[in-house]
Structures are given as structure tokens and as C-alpha cells.
A and B are shown apart, each in its own frame.
Chain A
Amino acid sequence: MTSIGVLALQGDFAEHIGIFQRLGIAAREVRHPQELAGLDGLVIPGGESTTVARLISEFALLDPLRERAQNGFPIWGTCAGMIVLAQRASELSWPTLDALAIAVRRNGFGRQVDSFETDLAVPALGQQAFHAVFIRAPIVEEVGDGVEVLAKLENGTAVAVRQANALATAFHPELTEDDRFHRYFIDMVRGHKDGHA
């Protein structure tokens, strides 16, 4: 039985849980370090990155999450979650997990009136384009060694990246019906679990 946690400090965690449950995965909310026990993977959802990063430190989740990330525990961050996973994030006064060798600029596309939807080519998910919703999204400004870019905008900006078992999307697959990114993450989680069985 694969068990995935969704960090439920703030943001759209319920949307992620709904999709995992529809896919037959036991997904549950995580707010405290002891709730990480028994999980095979974790999603850090969309939300307000300053709020989430602050509460990760306040609720003593920073060290346990960093330790898991370093040991190959699968973690997927969407939007604010990408910011939290990054090595560096602009104008953020709380520490990140440093699980992905990327530098991001928060609200890189501008304010809410600049938020947008578009179709993306994501070869790892197959031929069909992925309809992506970007909301006050971060821009990946630097991509370090060992980071694979899974999707880019037409101007070349990376919007989906993976390094080992850390996955990040600048957009919100949890806001659309297309569940291919959720299934991709489930495969990552199962692959990791089997490798350690």
C-alpha cells in the first residue's frame, strides 16, 4: 500500500489529496513531524510560500524534511512547493529545503493579473500537451548540475524540473483534470519504495 502525505500547513492541499484518492492512493494531511512516519512520499502544495516556509520552521519540520530529501525520499512541490524545495529563493526570509539545485525568483511572472494558462509539451508524460495553470508562479532562473528539465515555456524558461527524487512544477496540476503528473509522482514513489524494499 503506497502512502503519500500532503503538507497541509496552508494552501490547496485538499485538491492534491482528492486527486490521489481518486487514483486509489491513501493520501493524508501532514502538519507535524510525527505525521511523516510511514509515508512513502510527500507533496508540498500550492499556497503562499512565505506562510508555508515560515510554518515549516515553526512546526519543526525543516530538519526532518531536509534529512528525508537528502536520503532520496520522494518530494514533489507545486508552485509554492517548488520555492520551498529550491536551493535559493528571492526575497524569502525563511530557509528552504535545498532539495533541488535551482534558484527561483518568487512571483517571477508578475502579479495576479499576469497569471495565465497555457499548453506545455512534457515528453516524460507522453505526446499529448499538458494544460498548465500558473498563478503568481516562480521563475526558475538557474538550473544546476544534475537537474533534468521536464518542461519549458516557449521562451526557454524551465517550469518542471526533477533531480533524483525531488520533483517541482511552477504550475498547478492539482487544479486541472489531467492527473498525469500525479501518476508520474506515484511511479517515482513506488520506484523508490521498491528499491528499498
Chain B
Amino acid sequence: MAVEKGTYIVKKGLAQMLKGGVIMDVVTPEQARIAEEAGACAVMALERVPADIRAAGGVARMADPTVIAAIMEAVTIPVMAKCRIGHFAEAQVLEALGVDFIDESEVLTPADEAHHIDKWPFKVPFVCGCRDLGEALRRIGEGAAMIRTKGEAGTGNIVEAVRHMRAVMDGIRRLHSMPKDELMAEAKTLGAPYEVVKEVHETGGLPVVNFAAGGVATPADAALMMQLGAEGVFVGSGIFKSDDPEQRGKAIVKAVTNYNDPEIVAEVSRGLGEPMRGLDIRTLTEEELLASRGW
């Protein structure tokens, strides 16, 4: 019987398997093993975490394949890697390396200021960031198999992720309750494909899994995002820029599973040491904001 690989169901399906889980940024095989032991449902293989990308400046690119391959070798959980917005050749390289998921990410310096990658031809699934429903639906229209909020990566500040998640959820509620004959005009306003707009109107949800990302630093941050509607959480700099990555990683995993149980979130929040230092978004200049990258 026919065997079909790389179908949309299979690509979206992996994101569904990640739900209720924590995806952790790692830069070494050792960190990847710590993340796996802490209960991460996947890792993001990077050369630098976003906080260090911020500090280093310059052009941020796809990680060295050696780093990614070493991390893939070190763990049995899925390994994700980032490519630049619009840089389909980096994505092709990541697919050739056999990564399980590609993040077309605003954390890296964009390669194309008009177009994102056409993600349909790839066998590997993509996750993309968004700030509101229109952006989410454009990415889904391009073939993204998973969506995440952009938040403001590398800041340890949850405020932008909250803004973006609320915008997406509010947009979904509005579309769902809108009369059908207003959908075309709404698709135009959102700048999103009509077919996907119609699907959200009918189902009252996104057709793909939606995670929170960009600024999660504590178990309570994770619980907040889950209660706002996230189906799982990416933690970037928040774990390996803190005092005790292993304990913090474990605590955030338990907080995501039990996001509706404040007693458990309280219990796991005890004695974790200092979280990452964090940045006030209002002190950043327009050029320093990563979330405004993407179109």
C-alpha cells in the first residue's frame, strides 16, 4: 500500500505531539541532554541563545551544521533549528541535515524583507512567529505547520508574548462570531487568505497548534501563557541564562502540565535561584526590537 511522507497531516501532527510541552533553546549537546532530562518535549539547536544574539549584534544566521548535528546526536527528542526569514536555502540545508522542525525566525536577521519562505514544498514542518491573527494566518497560508507568538526574544520579559497571544485569541473570537458575509472584507483587513479565514470562522480555532514564545522566564510565566490559550511553550534564554537551568527546566515543564493548578505552580517555583536578568522592552530602540521583523 502507498506510503506518503511529508504530508500536511504528518507535519501538523508532530506539532500536535508537542502540545502541553516545553521546547528549550540549547547551544551544546550537554545542554540538550540536560533539557531532555528535565522533560523538554523538543529542543531548539542554536549557536547562541537570543539574549547572546542581542548582545553580539551583527548578522545572525542559521547555526553551524556541526552544532546542530552534534545536538541531534545527543538526544532522542525532536530537534528544531532556526533559519532566517525568507532564506529558503538555509531551510533546505536544515532539511538535508534531517532536523525535525524548522523555525523561520525573527530572532535571526531577515534575508528577505518582502517574502517569507514558501513552506509547502518542504517535507520538514515549519513553525513561524506572529503578533496577531493576520500574521498567523499569512504564515499558515504559506504552509506553516505550527504557530508561536513572537514575544520579544532574549528579554526575559513576558509582556510582548502576552500582547501577541491576546491579539491572536481576540482575533479568533471575533472571526468566529462574525457573520459569514463579512469574511471576505475581514480577510482583506487581516491580509490573510480567505480559505484560512473561513476555516477559523467555522471551527473557532487555528488549523495548527499555537505555542507561546519570546520572554518566558519563570514557571508562572509559562502558566500565564497557557491560561491565555497557548498549547505549549518555547523557552529560549530563560533556562540556560538562569542560575540553575536543570531545576528551572523541570519546574517549567511541571508548570505547563499543571497550568491550571496554582498550588503546583507555587510548589515548583520554590528555590529556583535567580531567573535570567531580563530587559525592560521600553528601553529598547525600534532597531533592537525583533518582533517587528516579518511581514
Q: A residues within 8 Å of B by Cβ?
A: 8-15, 31, 46-48, 50-51, 54-55, 58, 79-80, 91-93, 106-107, 111-120, 129, 133-136, 154, 172, 175-176
Contacts and interface: CB of A to CB of B under 8 A. Distances in A.
Contact of A10 (B2, B20, B98, B100): B20
B17 interface: yes
B9 interface: yes
A55 B123 CA distance: 31
Interface of B: 1-7, 9-10, 13-14, 16-21, 36-37, 39-42, 76-78, 95, 98-101, 123-125, 253-254, 256-258
Given A10-B20, A47-B21, A91-B76, 17 more contacts: A9-B20, A46-B17, A48-B77, A51-B39, A51-B253, A79-B17, A92-B76, A106-B76, A111-B98, A112-B100, A116-B3, A117-B4, A119-B2, A133-B13, A135-B13, A136-B78, A176-B9
9 contacts: A13-B19, A14-B19, A31-B257, A48-B17, A48-B18, A112-B78, A112-B101, A113-B5, A135-B14
Contacts of B39: 50-51, 54-55, 58
Contact of B5 (A31, A50, A80, A115): A115
A116 B36 contact: no
A8 B13 CA distance: 17
B14 A136 contact: yes
B20 A116 contact: no
B207 to A, nearest CB: 13
A136 B17 contact: yes
Nearest to B257: A9
A136 B98 CA distance: 12
B10 A11 contact: no
Q: Which of A46, A93, A117, A118 is packed against the most chain B CB atoms within 10 Å? A: A117
Contacts of A133: 9-10, 13
Contact of A51 (B2, B40, B98, B258): B40
